[in-house]
Structure 1
């Protein structure tokens, strides 16, 4: 297992709203990466896997549209 602190944190869209991913947890090749995110509205900390989050728009990088599609099996890890 390894943990990476993201510096700077990455702005992401989660099932519970916009937030910032501060850490990335990698349990190895048989698992999804886990993103530790703090939500903008509530300050809550949630952990999501790759299928549950999206990067926020970034006009500077040319990412002007982000799909808010969520996988059918997506649920927040508690």
Structure 2
């Protein structure tokens, strides 16, 4: 089943970066959801399996830290502050 997301969801794809997921493919039982995501930095469209996709931070929803990001990235940003 192909489902268009309206509105798109801001996500972080591990090893690819931040982007907007605009559709999901569900092949059914015993398959990962496939998130169709436009990557912000490159404009590339990737079909990312569910274990590689995380929701982006959302201050209003209380999701301040994204645990999926590399710990090295978080440490670098803390050092720069």
Identify whether the pair has TM-score above 0.5, normalized to the shorter chain: yes
Q: Does 2:59 match 1:66? A: no
TM-score scaled to structure 2, two decimals?
0.80
Structure number, greater radius of gyration = 2
Q: CA RMSD in A?
A: 1.3
Q: 1:8 and 2:31 equivalent?
A: no
User: 1:9-68 CA deviation, whole Å, 9 max, x = no partner?
Assistant: 000011211000000000001100000000001110001111001100000111111112
Name stretches of at least 5 consecutive residues in structure 1 with no aligned partner: 71-78
Q: Please identify which structure carries the higher helix content.
A: 2
Q: Which runs of 4+ in 1 moved over 4 A?
A: none
Give TM-score scaled by structure 1 length: 0.83
